[in-house]
Structure 1
């Protein structure tokens, strides 16, 4: 132990391989020590104590994943309690039992939680649903106004306070009743879902990082919140945007390099030591970063137009309460198509109310479900440029799974595997 230095290797994590062959990321002890201290220092420099010894964390993230690793390191520094359970289908149930003050997660979990509440309110209908819509509307207006978007007068604030007491406080109970905030990373969170959590009184603070940057690179502080942004770089980390829009990073949290792969290491560092993230980004006048897409996932249609699939996919998941996944496809094609999967519990509940019986496969192939999903696709298309619009789609007979390696353990799409498994469906999208 005494012979171990900050520059000795602490962790070797192989990237999840959403594109290309996984590479071993070498993270020395330096990066974890830095992450723990900069998390505290960054919050204090913003005049806040984001985490304290009195917090309680719920941790579901894979412990061999860089984000899960970071949220095992932080309680060692702060001393707060952590409850661990990796069963994804039990997360929402566990929140009510553990009653955490915060949780870090990939966006998919927040999407499922939001869709679950929305489906429950639609099922109740009547005055209950109307009260819920009223409370969310006023709570959202106050939350947005308090973070620099729009205005909320005294009457709106009074309504928001009343709505919180009689409606939204009960929604928070589904999440344990003690959550001060959540942290979202790994992919972009749909802005509408972010606004909903803010309205309900459990803001989702978006952060950003990669395995190569030890997960914690930027984080939204409550006072600097802005929907759609992943916050400012943590203290000690430099960030800038290259001429082609790629985000570049430099600082103590960056890896030593890829294990036994000097060629790949050389490719991702600039001459002045900045790490090429592979993400396209914008930085606003307050230093807050917005990630628009993965550089490698951008594709060009045969008409020469660029499309950013991840943004379209997250927007759809926020619009459609029964959606599980959307995979946007159109590289070198005349138009853009999509594969869609539906959330088993959500679509089964909807089908029961609509009087549709049968297995999941039978339900999702029904004309009623195609009509439902088609309406949300139309709603999505209204927000997109003409060349980005989904011209055709197919609802798959099953959801994507980690076991089949179609999504990573942190719930990112593995596009190459999906393309192999659903090649027939993809070709059907582009038949004349």
Structure 2
């Protein structure tokens, strides 16, 4: 069945959604109705101090939302006020999100790993009135902004009982005002601003409305195919940072669809949290699936057991690939797969709690090999695609429409097309309304006929499956789904006397790395000043003291960015980039694509040790 239509004179992938968001609908309006209709249904499970999962019903959750909303009113929070939040994913994040919407304000997320400089830009650009910090340490990151910014008044700390302290300030007399504000909020009112890194180094604030977020949160669970994965009475463990649009969308979608959601804020505890929570599905970035695979590999141990695991991992991949071929797996492959089920696959599923059968991957390309491995062991990973500006999903594979290697057909109610230059375009109620205080960037983000430019290159086949073939932008997206603007680090490092050029790498990789070239003119003086003999740039690229100096420079540059954006490993190249050798333009800009292509072997060495 084809999922291709014609719209605006363009060929586009499209699947109809079941619900059109009306003007009177908003997130707090929907959640108030759910709390009334599903009062005794469990909506969350919280992790206790003794690592057990404690159920929270809609009645309990919404009572806490209302109490916190009263407290925010008592603090003087007005409609359209902005409140920053800097926290890992946790129950209190969802609580503050709903309470802030209930009083007509907006929660502006900041990654918990961001530096003071990064937080300063977001708090200033979005004019945040106050902030919610998860820990005293995170409060210390935000504290320097209090005397600097007149509009920034206070920081409340979750782990210092911020919820209880704020809630205690309110009174039941404020309830009518909460309901008035909920009723006054419309679908096209602003819901949040999520900052996404740009090539200039300063993040751009994507303005998302209630219509944007409700469109994707409601139409997914109602889709005939997706409902088999994320329909009601499922259990989902949220392991992504809530500052990421994908996690925010997942939380809202799970609440709407009647699922139970748990939070796994620490990646180090992910496997144990999955085992104890026992999810039926997870939505995650590829890095999490890589961690799961690595955990299974590590659990196999050494010697014969390890060889056995790796052999049947290959069998799983071959079996899954054969499912997509005419005739399916051979009898011999089926028999070997059954043996793998008894010896290996069932134990892998037990690592994941035993109930996990479906998952959705987004944020970065998953890779066909991982997709086939998990399907081969009995866990379907449905790859999707989207950006902050598309409210997370714009396409996704489903049980009804699946093609491993693609990012699926269009998400319900979303249009996806390809421009003449190969750029993926999007249109629909999920597309953001523009960048905060940046009309120039907003205008550049859309075509003349109103389609959003994703910056990614791709193609759409005759059945409406979308394939991403590359990135039009220089923006790096790590395997963990983190957007990284290379210019921030490159500009800082080029100021070091030893360094001529830097190319930050890490697209679809587990961490950020860098290729560095030495300044041959500055090198002799630096060597003399450090009591070192003369040497060529090629020799210096392997000298321990030169390597240590570059390492110190990188560590200093890393102070300006979050840990996820920081350079973990680097390689010094034996040559410099010049116009003569074709690695720089006449205007002295590095030809990034040429460098990455010709020095791919050096890049792979950065990641060779994992």
- The answer as to 2:353 corresponding to 1:176 is yes
The corresponding residue for 1:373 is none
- The answer as to 2:218 corresponding to 1:26 is no
Does the 8 Å CA contact 1:138/1:157 hold for their aligned counterparts?
Answer: no
Aligned equivalents of 1:406 and 1:200: distance in 2?
Answer: 38
Does the 8 Å CA contact 2:205/2:435 hold for their aligned counterparts?
Answer: yes
- Return closer, same or farther for 1:88/1:117 CA change in 2, 3 Å cut-off: same
The corresponding residue for 1:81 is 260
Any residues of structure 2 matched to 1:201-240 within 5 Å, and which? Answer: 201-240=378-417
Any residues of structure 2 matched to 1:311-326 within 5 Å, and which? Answer: 314=508, 324-325=510-511
Deviations 1:345-388 (A, max 9, x none): xxxxxxxxxxxxxxxxxxxx9xxxxxxxxxxxxxxxxxxxxxxx
Q: Displacement of 1:35 after TM fit?
A: 0.7
Does the 8 Å CA contact 1:147/1:224 hold for their aligned counterparts?
Answer: no
Does the 8 Å CA contact 1:141/1:150 hold for their aligned counterparts?
Answer: no
Deviations 1:34-77 (A, max 9, x none): 112221343x1x48622222210000211122111101111221
Question: Alignment partner of 2:279: what SS?
Answer: coil
Any residues of structure 2 matched to 1:88-107 within 5 Å, and which? Answer: 88-107=267-286
Using the size of structure 1 for normalisation, the TM-score is 0.70
- Return closer, same or farther for 1:33/1:118 CA change in 2, 3 Å cut-off: same
Does the 8 Å CA contact 2:320/2:373 hold for their aligned counterparts?
Answer: no
Aligned equivalents of 1:155 and 1:427: distance in 2?
Answer: 49
Any residues of structure 2 matched to 1:48-197 within 5 Å, and which? Answer: 49-121=228-300, 123-126=301-304, 128-148=305-325, 151-197=328-374
Q: Which moved more, 1:17-26 or 1:225-234?
A: 17-26
Give 2:435's match in structure 1, choosing from 241, 247, 258.
258
Does the 8 Å CA contact 2:189/2:210 hold for their aligned counterparts?
Answer: yes
- Structure 1 unaligned residues grouped into runs of 5+: 300-306, 318-323, 332-364, 366-395
Aligned residues: 336
Using the size of structure 2 for normalisation, the TM-score is 0.50
- The answer as to 2:188 corresponding to 1:7 is yes
Question: Alignment partner of 1:234: what SS?
Answer: coil
Aligned equivalents of 2:276 and 2:559: distance in 1?
Answer: 30
Aligned equivalents of 1:161 and 1:254: distance in 2?
Answer: 45
Aligned equivalents of 1:47 and 1:193: distance in 2?
Answer: 21
- The answer as to 2:432 corresponding to 1:246 is no
Q: Displacement of 1:252 after TM fit?
A: 0.4
Does the 8 Å CA contact 1:139/1:164 hold for their aligned counterparts?
Answer: no
